[in-house]
Chain A
């Protein structure tokens, strides 16, 4: 159940009682209206009775007044009679009015009026006129007649009152009945509505309770899953061979796995909450300068960063380790950086191994060169020693001259080669300006034999006076390696091309600054290398030459070029028409040498 459904239940629970009570109130109103009508009828009956009594009183007044006048003959006694005579028509009209449509009442009232009129005409007016005339009115028959007429009037009045009272009693009984019915209905409706509201609310709250139960179960399961996931993560972290430190967004240490604790010398408890730079102190191997805190670097660049080479970690106990590390931001669902993960490992042994491998490759290169040089020197030496033997064993003057010239020519070859060899192993501490044309020509000279053996033709395009800043011995190693690779790739009757392309300072089409320097491009027309092989070419121990190669040549060359702040790149084509490989090396005129 989501929040929307829950709110809907709340609305239902509020609305249903309101609606039910409104309906109940409507029913009650209808009932009360019925009872009110009955009360009105009762009031009508009351009004009829009191009006009838009023009329009766006026008639009694008339009769009494007439009797006084009849006895005394004094007109003052006749006053009430006259007043009643003027009021009676009005009161009769009122009585007819309050009688409503009841036919029995109407008949009785009409009869009453008739009887009264009869009494007035036949008795009262007669008596009044006789008294006025001074006559005697003690006639018994006349008075008995008047009395009988008045008795009729009284009967009618009683009948009217009786009828109204009967009506009243019936109506009061009806009102009582209605009241009881209303009370019963009220009880029934209250009970019904109460039960309905109760049941409905119960049902709704059952739904909510079931949903709540479900939510609790889901939460419980989630908590279990979370715990298991956390356990998995922890076990994974504990099992991996690299040191892992996670930090919060402020760069304070949160979690360190056992390897990280071992490498830094800090325990999780000691390090927790401390700033990373306190726990993970790193300096540059050569300069001993502090290296930018990885947390700051990740924050600044907002991406995964590999940290610089030659990083030394200062352990808590003061010991030092060569490490390689990388940092990555941890993001929340909105892409905000909420922390940083740092992964690092001890590369002390790895670095030593690399150094040993590089030294080994240097030795292998030196060994191959030594063999070439021995060959190059032995050939002319053999000729010279043979010539000397010939001269010593009786040669003519002319022959001796000729032999000496040949010997000198051969010795000149030895000298040239020995010079080139000396140049090869003259190490310098700082980079010097190296003339590329001179260096490449020297290398070609030393390799001439090997190239001829492979039946490869070499073409060059080497402009003079192009120089770059470099360590000559190392650069020679790179070019020797690249030319040997090219010659071997070209194979018998193949060709290689060597050229130098100076690059002035400027800006490339992509807008990147270009350093002043030169490209040395070595290309061959061999079969080319597939893309799959290309991706491995700069890895150590990868060779396409089987037993003849160490698999270190290009890897070391790349290392040397990178140390020189240069670029080495390889492109190759294996198609039938344009097969071949091009290796380009960029070297700067004034390079920034990376410590090696």
Chain B
């Protein structure tokens, strides 16, 4: 790969889940930044050249919807993939993000969706 690998920000309050997801994405060729809560994630998002965000919805304090809203205000062009342990998410939340999926759908699904989000950037 000529280009430097994409920098992806993962935010999840589940430590093990976050560690495994980081490992998975690194194996798939991404650079990964992690945050254990919303405010920390927004901080990293605004200071580093993040190209895509993998965001957990259900977090204490600031939930995925609020984090996405803040991020859209800072850098609206950065794609966001929302992960949720719930099957159904409210429409006002899903409309905020580019794509969303339910946890447990499997690693291939996550990788496909993430790469589809980054495709247009690679093409340009």
A interface list, Cβ under 8 A from B: 371, 374-383, 385-387, 389-390, 393, 406, 409-410, 452-455, 492
Tell me what chain A mostly uses at the interface: helix, strand, loop, or mixed: helix
CB <8 Å contact, B14 and A379? yes
Not counting A385-B106, A390-B27, a sample of 4 additional A-B residue pairs whose C-beta atoms are within 8 angstroms of each other reads: A371-B86, A386-B24, A387-B20, A455-B60
CB <8 Å contact, A383 and B85? no
Enumerate chain A residues within 8 angstroms of B17, measured Cβ to Cβ.
379-380, 382-383, 386
Cβ of B107 within 8 Å of any chain A Cβ, yes or no, is: yes
Closest to A452 in B: B60
Task: Tell me the chain B residues, 27-84 only, with Cβ under 8 Å from chain A.
Answer: 27, 58-61, 83
CB <8 Å contact, A453 and B16? no
Q: How far is the CA of A382 from the CA of B12 in the complex (A)?
A: 12
9 residue pairs, one from A and one from B, having the closest CB atoms: A389-B107, A378-B85, A382-B103, A375-B85, A453-B60, A381-B104, A378-B103, A386-B20, A383-B17
CB <8 Å contact, A382 and B104? yes
Shortest beta-carbon distance from B13 to chain A in Å: 8
CB <8 Å contact, A386 and B60? no
Enumerate chain B residues within 8 angstroms of A452, measured Cβ to Cβ.
60
CB <8 Å contact, B14 and A383? yes
Enumerate chain B residues within 8 angstroms of A455, measured Cβ to Cβ.
60-61
Enumerate chain A residues within 8 angstroms of B14, measured Cβ to Cβ.
379, 383
Closest to A450 in B: B60
CB <8 Å contact, B27 and A410? no
Q: How far is the CA of A375 from the CA of B56 in the complex (A)?
A: 12
Shortest beta-carbon distance from B24 to chain A in Å: 5
Knowing A374-B85, A389-B108, A453-B60, say if A383 contacts B16 (CB, 8 Å): yes
Q: How far is the CA of A492 from the CA of B106 in the complex (A)?
A: 34
Enumerate chain A residues within 8 angstroms of B58, measured Cβ to Cβ.
375, 453
Enumerate chain B residues within 8 angstroms of A379, measured Cβ to Cβ.
14, 17, 85, 103
Q: How far is the CA of A393 from the CA of B108 in the complex (A)?
A: 11
Cβ of B94 within 8 Å of any chain A Cβ, yes or no, is: no
Closest to B60 in A: A453
Cβ of B23 within 8 Å of any chain A Cβ, yes or no, is: yes
Contact partner of B104 (CB less than 8 A), chosen from A385, A387, A406, A454, is A385
Cβ of B91 within 8 Å of any chain A Cβ, yes or no, is: no
Q: How far is the CA of A410 from the CA of B14 in the complex (A)?
A: 11
- 15 contacts across the A-B interface (CB closer than 8 A): A374-B86, A377-B85, A379-B17, A383-B14, A383-B16, A385-B104, A385-B107, A386-B21, A389-B106, A390-B27, A409-B16, A452-B60, A453-B58, A453-B60, A492-B61
Contact partner of A381 (CB less than 8 A), chosen from B24, B60, B87, B103, is B103
Q: How many A-B residue pairs have CB under 8 A?
A: 65
Closest to B13 in A: A452
CB <8 Å contact, A375 and B104? no
Closest to A403 in B: B20
Q: How far is the CA of A393 from the CA of B26 in the complex (A)?
A: 13
Q: How far is the CA of A385 from the CA of B108 in the complex (A)?
A: 10
Shortest beta-carbon distance from B19 to chain A in Å: 8
Enumerate chain A residues within 8 angstroms of B108, measured Cβ to Cβ.
389
User: Which of B83, B106, B107 has its CB near the most chain A CB atoms (within 10 A)?
Assistant: B107
Enumerate chain A residues within 8 angstroms of B61, measured Cβ to Cβ.
453, 455, 492
Contact partner of A378 (CB less than 8 A), chosen from B20, B60, B102, B110, is B102
CB <8 Å contact, A406 and B103? no
Contact partner of A390 (CB less than 8 A), chosen from B24, B83, B110, is B24
Shortest beta-carbon distance from B105 to chain A in Å: 8
CB <8 Å contact, B86 and A390? no
Shortest beta-carbon distance from B58 to chain A in Å: 6
Knowing A381-B104, A387-B20, A406-B16, say if A374 contacts B60 (CB, 8 Å): no
Knowing A389-B107, A393-B27, A455-B61, say if A406 contacts B20 (CB, 8 Å): yes
Task: Tell me the chain B residues, 90-124 only, with Cβ under 8 Å from chain A.
Answer: 102-104, 106-108, 110
Enumerate chain A residues within 8 angstroms of B87, measured Cβ to Cβ.
374
Shortest beta-carbon distance from A417 to chain B in Å: 12
Enumerate chain B residues within 8 angstroms of A393, measured Cβ to Cβ.
27
Q: How far is the CA of A377 from the CA of B106 in the complex (A)?
A: 14
Contact partner of B24 (CB less than 8 A), chosen from A371, A377, A389, is A389
Q: How far is the CA of A376 from the CA of B17 in the complex (A)?
A: 12
Q: How far is the CA of A382 from the CA of B105 in the complex (A)?
A: 7
Q: How far is the CA of A442 from the CA of B78 in the complex (A)?
A: 42
Q: How far is the CA of A390 from the CA of B26 in the complex (A)?
A: 11
Shortest beta-carbon distance from A178 to chain B in Å: 135
Enumerate chain B residues within 8 angstroms of A382, measured Cβ to Cβ.
17, 83, 85, 103-104
Enumerate chain A residues within 8 angstroms of B16, measured Cβ to Cβ.
380, 383, 406, 409-410
Q: How far is the CA of A454 from the CA of B23 in the complex (A)?
A: 30
Enumerate chain B residues within 8 angstroms of A380, measured Cβ to Cβ.
16-17
Enumerate chain B residues within 8 angstroms of A410, measured Cβ to Cβ.
16
Enumerate chain B residues within 8 angstroms of A375, measured Cβ to Cβ.
58, 85-86
CB <8 Å contact, A386 and B107? yes
Enumerate chain B residues within 8 angstroms of A453, measured Cβ to Cβ.
58-61
CB <8 Å contact, A390 and B103? no
Enumerate chain B residues within 8 angstroms of A376, measured Cβ to Cβ.
85
User: Which of A371, A379, A380, A382 has its CB near the most chain B CB atoms (within 10 A)?
Assistant: A382
Enumerate chain A residues within 8 angstroms of B60, measured Cβ to Cβ.
452-455
Shortest beta-carbon distance from A176 to chain B in Å: 140
Closest to B106 in A: A385
Q: How far is the CA of A374 from the CA of B84 in the complex (A)?
A: 10
Closest to A406 in B: B16
Q: How far is the CA of A410 from the CA of B60 in the complex (A)?
A: 20
Q: How far is the CA of A383 from the CA of B10 in the complex (A)?
A: 14
Enumerate chain B residues within 8 angstroms of A371, measured Cβ to Cβ.
86
Q: How far is the CA of A378 from the CA of B103 in the complex (A)?
A: 6
Q: How far is the CA of A492 from the CA of B60 in the complex (A)?
A: 10
Closest to B18 in A: A383
Q: How far is the CA of A579 from the CA of B107 in the complex (A)?
A: 49
Closest to B63 in A: A453
Q: How far is the CA of A174 from the CA of B110 in the complex (A)?
A: 161
Shortest beta-carbon distance from A462 to chain B in Å: 24
Shortest beta-carbon distance from B112 to chain A in Å: 12
Q: How far is the CA of A191 from the CA of B26 in the complex (A)?
A: 146
Knowing A406-B20, A409-B16, say if A378 contacts B104 (CB, 8 Å): yes
Q: How far is the CA of A389 from the CA of B28 in the complex (A)?
A: 11
Enumerate chain B residues within 8 angstroms of A492, measured Cβ to Cβ.
61
Q: How far is the CA of A454 from the CA of B58 in the complex (A)?
A: 12
